[in-house]
């Protein structure tokens, strides 16, 4: 189709719709994605494709670790589902559908094990300075749930971990633009494929993906992959994971498990944590279902997942920008879909660090 014809067609679209779906329109213009009418369109925006969401990373220079902040300053209905046997979390009890507070103002993902939960305090300070939070009559209290992953064994000094200042800086750096992936924020020290020990592991990181339905609803995911297991793509191929004994190839965790030679490691030293989001209007119960269904994305893309050695957790956010009645079954299914894609993207975006090569170093996948 000539460029002039494309321009004329775009000019006939209402401006509100143009701005609402600029990720999708840009993809179509440059031939990145071509889909028939009435089919969900994959976008390139990641989690920030959902209106009302900003993402910021802060990565420490002195050791591979950091934090990632998902800001929803106007508030978002939230749910959570924790499946792993060794989680580290903050403010998750208030996300139950029976609780009084229905909205959150940010979600923090951080490295540093339990020490990294301190990053959420910095985000609370950032929001409080701007008058954002739950109105208690005497003060607005920012509601900021958080989850952490274990990366203390990466680098030379485990006393270096994310602090409140890390969270504040990540919030300051948050943007509605494209989500940075790979060795950033909570993914800076993330590793994966540890079923034969850390000596045969690989580099993990941050990944994000999103999709837009024909009715305009967006569903997106962001994840920090620090799994004991391998990352598997939609074709069943290993993207990154436990390496062979010579370190030059992939051993495949599924093969090791069936041979009885895999070991899942010490509890608490792994964990994959993430956020799924939509601009649909959900109740807190529906947001919880969305988080629950999104875990199917972990099960598809991480083998094994939800082990006693992992603290796997997923938060769900609904900004409510669209007033149409949601189909939670569809939204939940797509949350699992984009989460599995985000996991794969994290492995492919990662860059190797000393002791932990990345997928690109082994020339695995496209």
* Residues 238-252 pLDDT 10s: 999 999 999 999 999
* Structural contact between residues 55 and 68, judged by C-beta atoms closer than 8 angstroms: yes
Residue 261 confidence (pLDDT) above 90: no
Instruction: State the average pLDDT over residues 104-120.
Output: 97
Residues 6+ apart with CB under 8 A from 40: 211, 212, 213, 214, 334
| Residue 13 or residue 69, greater confidence | 69
* Residues 165-204 pLDDT 10s: 999 999 999 999 999 999 999 999 999 999 988 899 999 9
* Structural contact between residues 311 and 110, judged by C-beta atoms closer than 8 angstroms: no
Question: Long-range contacts: 130-134, Cβ < 8 Å, 24+?
Answer: 130/73, 132/73, 132/105, 133/105, 134/101, 134/103
* Residues 292-307 pLDDT 10s: 999 999 999 999 888 8
Q: What is the pLDDT confidence band of residue 311, given thresholds at 50, 70 and 90?
A: confident
- At residue 363, the pLDDT reads 64
* Structural contact between residues 209 and 297, judged by C-beta atoms closer than 8 angstroms: no
- At residue 180, the pLDDT reads 96
Cβ burial 138-173 (10 Å sphere, 16+ → b, else e): eeebbbbbbbbbbbbebbeeeebbbbbebbbbbbee
- At residue 310, the pLDDT reads 77
Residue 293 CA to residue 343 CA, distance in Å, equals 15
* Structural contact between residues 77 and 69, judged by C-beta atoms closer than 8 angstroms: no
Please compute Rg for the chain using Cα positions.
20
* Structural contact between residues 146 and 119, judged by C-beta atoms closer than 8 angstroms: yes
Instruction: State the average pLDDT over residues 323-337.
Output: 91
- At residue 14, the pLDDT reads 36
Q: What is the pLDDT confidence band of residue 3, given thresholds at 50, 70 and 90?
A: very low
- At residue 45, the pLDDT reads 74
**What's phi and psi for 15, nearest 5 deg?**
-60, -35
Name the average pLDDT for the chain: 86
- At residue 44, the pLDDT reads 60
- At residue 270, the pLDDT reads 74
In 103-165 the beta strands, taken as DSSP E runs, fall at: 103-110, 134-135, 140-141, 146-148
Residue 208 confidence (pLDDT) above 70: yes
CB atoms within 10 A of CB 77: 25
Reported as half-sphere exposure (CB side, CA atoms, 13 A), residue 173 has a value of 19
Residue 27 CA to residue 321 CA, distance in Å, equals 22
How far is the first Cα of the chain from the last one, in angstroms, to the nearest whole number?
29
Burial class (CB in 10 A: 0-12, 13-18, 19+), 34: exposed
For residue 85, which of 213, 270, 256 has the smallest C-alpha distance? 270
Burial class (CB in 10 A: 0-12, 13-18, 19+), 199: exposed
Q: What is the pLDDT confidence band of residue 269, given thresholds at 50, 70 and 90?
A: low
DSSP letter (8 states) at residue 186: G
DSSP letter (8 states) at residue 93: G
Q: What is the pLDDT confidence band of residue 260, given thresholds at 50, 70 and 90?
A: confident
Q: What percent of the chain has pLDDT over 90?
A: 73
Residue 84 confidence (pLDDT) above 90: no
DSSP letter (8 states) at residue 353: B
- At residue 2, the pLDDT reads 41
Residue 32 confidence (pLDDT) above 50: no
**What's phi and psi for 179, nearest 5 deg?**
-80, 125
Instruction: Quote the tokens at residue 127.
Output: 């929001």
DSSP letter (8 states) at residue 306: S
């Amino acid at each position: 189709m000539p460029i002039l014809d494309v321009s004329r067609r775009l000019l006939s679209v209402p401006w509100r719709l143009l701005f609402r779906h600029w990720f999708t329109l840009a993809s179509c213009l440059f031939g990145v994605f071509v889909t028939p009418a009435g089919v969900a369109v994959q976008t390139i925006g990641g989690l920030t494709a959902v209106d009302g969401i900003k993402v910021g990373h802060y990565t420490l220079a002195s050791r591979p670790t950091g934090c990632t902040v998902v800001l929803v300053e106007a508030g978002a209905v939230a749910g959570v589902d924790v499946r792993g046997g060794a989680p580290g979390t903050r403010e998750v009890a208030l996300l139950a559908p029976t609780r009084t507070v229905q909205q959150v103002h940010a979600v923090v993902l951080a490295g540093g094990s339990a020490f990294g939960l301190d990053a959420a305090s910095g985000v609370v300070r950032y929001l409080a300075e701007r008058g954002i939070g739950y109105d208690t009559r005497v003060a607005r209290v920012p509601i900021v749930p958080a989850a952490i992953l274990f990366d203390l064994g990466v680098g030379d000094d485990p006393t270096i971990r994310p602090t409140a200042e890390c969270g504040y800086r990540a919030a300051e750096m948050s943007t509605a633009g494209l989500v940075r992936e790979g060795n950033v924020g909570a993914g800076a020290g993330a590793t994966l494929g540890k079923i034969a020990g850390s000596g045969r592991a690989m580099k993990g990181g941050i990944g994000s993906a999103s999709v837009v339905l024909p009715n305009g609803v967006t569903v997106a995911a962001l994840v920090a992959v620090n799994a004991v297991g391998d990352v598997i793509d939609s074709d069943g191929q290993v993207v990154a994971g436990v390496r062979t004994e010579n370190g030059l190839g992939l051993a495949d965790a599924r093969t090791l498990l069936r041979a009885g030679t895999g070991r899942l490691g010490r509890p608490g030293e792994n964990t994959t944590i993430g956020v799924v989001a939509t601009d649909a209007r959900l109740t807190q119960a529906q947001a919880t279902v969305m988080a629950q269904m999104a875990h199917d994305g972990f099960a598809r893309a991480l083998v094994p997942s939800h082990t006693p050695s992992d603290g796997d957790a997923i938060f769900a956010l609904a900004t409510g920008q669209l007033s149409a009645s949601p189909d939670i079954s569809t939204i939940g299914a797509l949350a699992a879909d984009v989460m599995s894609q985000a996991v794969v993207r994290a492995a492919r975006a990662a860059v190797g660090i000393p002791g932990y090569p990345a997928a690109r170093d082994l020339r695995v996948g496209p």
